[in-house]
């Protein structure tokens, strides 16, 4: 199959598509832990929105002459490994994972999207990276829980740190294995100082999210 | 809150809505067990279709002046108990549960829907009971697996029997607790002989589904 899209853009669409598919599964699974029907409703609605994003990426790849499954395949290992190594123990950990984990991923993808030359692909990527409501929902629920029982804050702060650690391990694995994708970010367009600034931006945003949850980094 | 809908119709819409919400969660969770991306894609698509059904029932209840969460509440216990007592051990058991379990529930709901007097509610109910593709997908995958390894057929046949047993226990619980719903079926419109014929129809359809899977009842 031939496509007018370059390998890096196909990689980015592929990792995003599989990311949305697993986000969908995870949110829907976490909905089972929801303490009330209304929480379940909220989480299931977010999951359905992630599936809609997945479907749009899938169809875009297909319309561009790319086999979506082949595009997703290289990222199944790293993304499954991330989720397998970070199963939430309860409802709150699930919410934090949805907010903090997806937030970190989204920030990163948005930085990479700047370098995508193809206009329709870039527009679609920025569009599916839009928040589906996790942020405000997670902040409200976690704040409520830590106010009711300040002791849980320590455990949840540790959990946030662990999520970042596991995400970095898998991101590094992808960086080593997917030359085109790494090249997009590092090659030409960004020097070492630029990468340093990128990491600072990602860390700052992560700290801001943990602070919004009332948790230490 | 007052509604022009009678209590039995509200009960039926409520049990269907919560049934679709849990079906969504379950299919999405089972998608994690899928052996290939394409199987995962198929199951996630079905899950998204169930969520769409859920949303239509939810909105219909709300538009009719009924609190959807209150309408669903009486069925949370029985439906959660059914799913908690029948966690699939693998991908094939999940598929059979989706096909055989949902098939039985759908047949039953369709029989009850006949007695719903409100035309828009009845039309919506029959519409959301439409198959979202589970049937042919499950038959294809299970047949393929039992052909490859005939030994699994015995275990899966037992699993099908257990699903029916657990479903009947929870159905009985609902029948005892929800007078209006039971009355709709039994009161006036159906005599004992009619109920006997209904059970025969349900059993016959169940046997036909197990046969389509190549499994004994």
A23 CA to chain B: closest CA distance, Å?
10
Ranges in chain B, pLDDT < 50 = none
Phi-psi sector, A5: left (phi>0), alpha (psi -120 to 50), beta: beta
Contacts with B47 from chain A: Cβ below 8 Å: 28, 51
Candidate from A41, A48, A76 with C-beta closest to B37: A76
Exposed, middle or buried, B136 (CB in 10 Å: 0-12/13-18/19+)? Answer: exposed
Rounded Cα distance between A131 and A23, Å, is: 13
Residue-by-residue DSSP string for chain A? ---SS-HHHHHHHHHHHHHHHHHHHHHHHHGGG-SSHHHHHHHHHHHHHHHHHHHHHHHHHHHTT--HHHHHHHHHHHHHHHHHH---SSHHHHHHIIIIIHHHHHHHHHHHHTT---HHHHHHHHHHTS--SHHHHHHHHHHHHHHH-TTHHHHHHHHHHHHHHHHHHHHHHHHHH-HHHHHHHHTTT--HHHHHHHHHHHHHHHHHHHHHTT---
In this predicted structure, what is the pLDDT of residue B139? 92
Contact call for B24 and A25, based on CB within 8 A: no
In this predicted structure, what is the pLDDT of residue B190? 65
Contacts with B34 from chain A: Cβ below 8 Å: none
Rounded Cα distance between A7 and B132, Å, is: 35
Residue with tokens 């042919």: B136
In this predicted structure, what is the pLDDT of residue B188? 56
In this predicted structure, what is the pLDDT of residue A188? 57
In this predicted structure, what is the pLDDT of residue A144? 92
Interface check for B41 against chain A (CB to CB < 8 A): the answer is: yes
Ranges in chain A, pLDDT < 50 = none
Contact call for A58 and B41, based on CB within 8 A: yes
Contacts with A44 from chain B: Cβ below 8 Å: 21, 24-25, 51, 54
In this predicted structure, what is the pLDDT of residue B111? 86
In this predicted structure, what is the pLDDT of residue A190? 65
ipTM at complex level: 0.78
Contacts with B73 from chain A: Cβ below 8 Å: 37
**Chain A residue with the nearest C-alpha to that of B55:** A45
Which pair of tokens denotes residue A89?
């123990």
In this predicted structure, what is the pLDDT of residue A3? 85
Interface check for B67 against chain A (CB to CB < 8 A): the answer is: no
Question: How far, in whole angstroms, is CA B190 from its chain's centroid?
Answer: 22
Contact call for A25 and B37, based on CB within 8 A: no
B137 CA to chain A: closest CA distance, Å?
19
Interface check for B44 against chain A (CB to CB < 8 A): the answer is: yes
In this predicted structure, what is the pLDDT of residue A189? 61
Contact call for A47 and B51, based on CB within 8 A: yes
Helix H or strand E segment including A26:
helix A7-30
Closest CA relative to residue B98, chosen from B154, B155, B44:
B44
Contact call for A44 and B58, based on CB within 8 A: no
A152 CA to chain B: closest CA distance, Å?
27
Interface check for B183 against chain A (CB to CB < 8 A): the answer is: no
Contact call for B25 and A48, based on CB within 8 A: no
């Amino acid at each position: 199959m031939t496509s007018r899209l370059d390998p890096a853009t196909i990689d980015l669409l592929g990792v995003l598509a599989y990311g949305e598919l697993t986000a969908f599964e995870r949110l829907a699974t976490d909905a089972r832990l929801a303490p009330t029907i209304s929480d379940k409703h909220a989480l299931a609605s977010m999951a359905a929105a992630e599936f809609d994003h997945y479907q749009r990426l899938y169809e875009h790849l297909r319309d561009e002459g790319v086999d979506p499954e082949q595009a997703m395949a290289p990222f199944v290992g790293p993304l499954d490994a991330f989720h397998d190594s970070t199963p939430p123990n309860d409802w709150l950990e699930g919410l934090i994972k949805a907010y903090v984990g997806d937030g970190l991923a989204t920030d990163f993808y948005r930085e990479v999207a700047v370098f995508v030359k193809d206009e329709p692909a870039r527009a679609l990527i920025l569009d599916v990276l839009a928040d589906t409501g996790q942020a405000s929902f997670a902040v409200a629920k976690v704040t409520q829980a830590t106010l009711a029982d300040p002791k849980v804050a320590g455990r949840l702060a540790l959990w946030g740190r662990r999520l970042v650690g596991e995400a970095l391990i898998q991101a590094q694995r992808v960086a080593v294995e997917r030359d085109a994708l790494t090249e997009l970010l590092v090659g030409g367009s960004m020097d070492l100082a630029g990468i340093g600034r990128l990491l600072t931006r990602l860390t700052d945003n992560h700290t801001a999210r943990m602070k919004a949850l009332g948790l230490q980094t």
